[in-house]
Amino acid sequence: MEVERGYRAGQEQAKVSDSRRSPFRPQGKPKGGGGDTNRGIKQTPGKEKSFRQPGSGKGKKSPSSSQKPKPHREIVRTTPVFSWYWWVWRSSTWEVFLDGSQFRDFKSAKKGEASSTTKDLLPRPGCYEFALAHPNDPSKRFKVYVGYSSNIQKRHHLNYQRDGSHLLPQLERSLKEEYIVLRRVTYCQDAEKAKALESKLLRTYDYPWNLMENGGKRHVSLVQKSCCLCFRLPVTVDRRQQYAC
C-alpha cells in the first residue's frame, strides 16, 4: 500500500510540473543559433559574385588594338635618305625587265634589246623588287612586287625570264598598257635573312602584286592627265582601277 501511495504521489507531482510549463516556450536552442538567415546556403570562398558598375569600361576593346595599321604604298620616286629602306637598296640599280613602250606581249618583250637578262645576276640569296613606270615619265617608279629567293639567278632565269611565272597575268596587262617593267636586286647573307627582309617590306609597304602577307593581288593603272592641252601632270596611280585579279 505504501508503494502504491508513493507511485501516485510521483504522478501528481509530474502533472503539476507539466501544467506550470508554457506550451509556447521552445524546448531547446536550435543548433547553430536562431539568427542565421543564410542557413543552408553554400558559399564557396573566393568565388563571390562581383557586380560591375555601368560605364566602367572594363572589358571593352579599344579600336586601336583591334584594328591593325594599314601599310602605306611606296609610290615616291626617291625615298628618304638614311632610312632603313634606302639603306637596304642603296647599292641596287633599276634595270628594264620588260619594255612595254616597244612590245605589247610577254614573248616579244623578253626578246627585246632593252630587256634585261640574267647574266648579271649572282647565284646568291637575296630580295628583288618589280616596279612600273609610265613611258611618258620613266623616272617615276611605282613598286608593285617584292620577293626573295635562295638563288636569285636561278629564280629569274628559270621562272620570270622564261615564262613570267605567277606574275604572267600582271606582266601581260602591264605590257598592253605600254608600261615599263623595272627590276632591282639586293643580296643577303643567307636565305633566312632574305625571307625576313621580304616580310619586313610587306609589313611596311603595300605591294599590289603580292598575295602572301599582303592580301589579294590587285591591278595597277597609271594615269597622266594633261592641263591646258600642253602641260602634263605627274603620273599617279588610279586607285579606282585597283581591282582584284
Distance CA 184, CA 128 (A): 6
Q: What pLDDT does residue 205 have?
A: 85
Average pLDDT of the residues in 201-213: 85
Looking at per-residue pLDDT, the higher value among 4 and 234 belongs to: 234
Q: What pLDDT does residue 18 have?
A: 54
Q: In this model, does residue 241 exceed pLDDT 60?
A: no
Candidate ranges 112-116, 139-143, 218-222, 228-232; pick with highest mean pLDDT: 139-143
Average pLDDT of the residues in 182-187: 96
- What are the DSSP calls for 113-155, one per residue? TTS--STT--SS-EEEEEEEEETTEEEEEEEEEEEEES-HHHH
Domains of the chain: 84-210 (3.40.1440.10)
**Given phi > 0 = left and psi -120 to 50 = alpha, else beta, which region is 228?**
left
Looking at per-residue pLDDT, the higher value among 80 and 191 belongs to: 191
Q: In this model, does residue 3 exceed pLDDT 80?
A: no
**pLDDT per position as a tens digit, 102-149:** 888 998 888 876 666 788 899 999 999 999 998 888 888 889 999 999
| CA terminus-to-terminus distance, the chain | 125
The burial of 59, by beta-carbon neighbours within 10 Å (0-12 exposed, 13-18 middle, 19 or more buried), is given as exposed
Determine what percent of the chain is predicted with pLDDT higher than 90. Answer: 32
Q: What pLDDT does residue 63 have?
A: 46
**pLDDT per position as a tens digit, 30-43:** 454 444 444 444 45
Q: What pLDDT does residue 65 have?
A: 46
